[in-house]
Amino acid sequence: MSSSDALSENQGRVKPDAESNGTRRDFLNEIAAAALGVAGLGATVVTVKYLSPNVLFEPPTQFRAGAADDFPVNSVTYIRDQQVYIVRMSAGFYAVSAVCTHLGCITQWKAEENQISCPCHGSKFSREGAKLAGPAPRALPHFAVRLAPDGQLVVDKLEIVKETQVLKV
């Protein structure tokens, strides 16, 4: 065997090792890049979450219940999304909470019985919200009602008023 034959034989052996090392290195580089990418993405998510305000979105406590003229005299209208009854009597308007004062169930207006009834434990209230029967500890609270310049009723659920307070229209 000549020296040039041995050299070319050695080169022939070295070449596949270099290629396989290159492939292994590339593979490890790809794994490292993927791991860095995942770590970077995780860090970005955590940072964005940390920087964004931790705000609890609640519905506004003031709402427009509708045009005063749309409520007939001697009516009780349930505003479902606000859980409030708008009551119109000949004396005027008032707004009564529909949330039972016992354990917070949503009451129902029973026109045939002329009273507000709680389906959970049987408390009963008059249309004015006064407690008539059941385990509820107190009457349903009244909320402030105002008339906006455009003729809409505006109820403020943060402002509790006396049950004798009526909006005259």
Closer to ligand FES by Cβ: residue 92 or 135: 135
Q: Does residue 123 bind ligand FES (CB under 6 A)?
A: yes
Q: Does residue 134 bind ligand FES (CB under 6 A)?
A: yes
Handedness of CA 2, 3, 6, 12 (dihedral sign): negative
Query: Side-chain half-sphere of 42: how many Cα atoms within 13 Å?
Result: 6
Q: Does residue 97 bind ligand FES (CB under 6 A)?
A: no
Q: Does residue 103 bind ligand FES (CB under 6 A)?
A: yes
Closer to ligand FES by Cβ: residue 68 or 100: 100
Scanning 15-23, 73-81, 95-103, 140-148 for contacts with ligand FES by CB under 6 A, the matching segment is: 95-103
Q: Does residue 141 bind ligand FES (CB under 6 A)?
A: no
Figure out which of the listed residues 89, 120, 139, 154 binds ligand FES, where binding follows CB under 6 A. 120
Coil, strand or helix: which one is 165? coil
Question: For the residues of 55-100, what is the DSSP string, one character each?
Answer: ------SEEEEEEGGGS-TTEEEEEGGGTEEEEEETTEEEEEE-B-
Q: Does residue 88 bind ligand FES (CB under 6 A)?
A: no
DSSP state of 35: H
Whether 68 and 77 have beta carbons less than 8 Å apart is answered as no
Figure out which of the listed residues 79, 89, 105, 154 binds ligand FES, where binding follows CB under 6 A. 105
Closer to ligand FES by Cβ: residue 118 or 167: 118
Residue 95 structure tokens: 């707004």
Measured in Å, how far apart are the chain's first and last C-alpha atoms? 118
Closest CA to 162 of 138, 135, 143, 149: 143
Q: Does residue 135 bind ligand FES (CB under 6 A)?
A: yes
Figure out which of the listed residues 121, 132, 146, 148 binds ligand FES, where binding follows CB under 6 A. 121
What is the contact surface with ligand FES in residues (CB under 6 A)?
100, 102-103, 105, 118, 120-123, 134-136
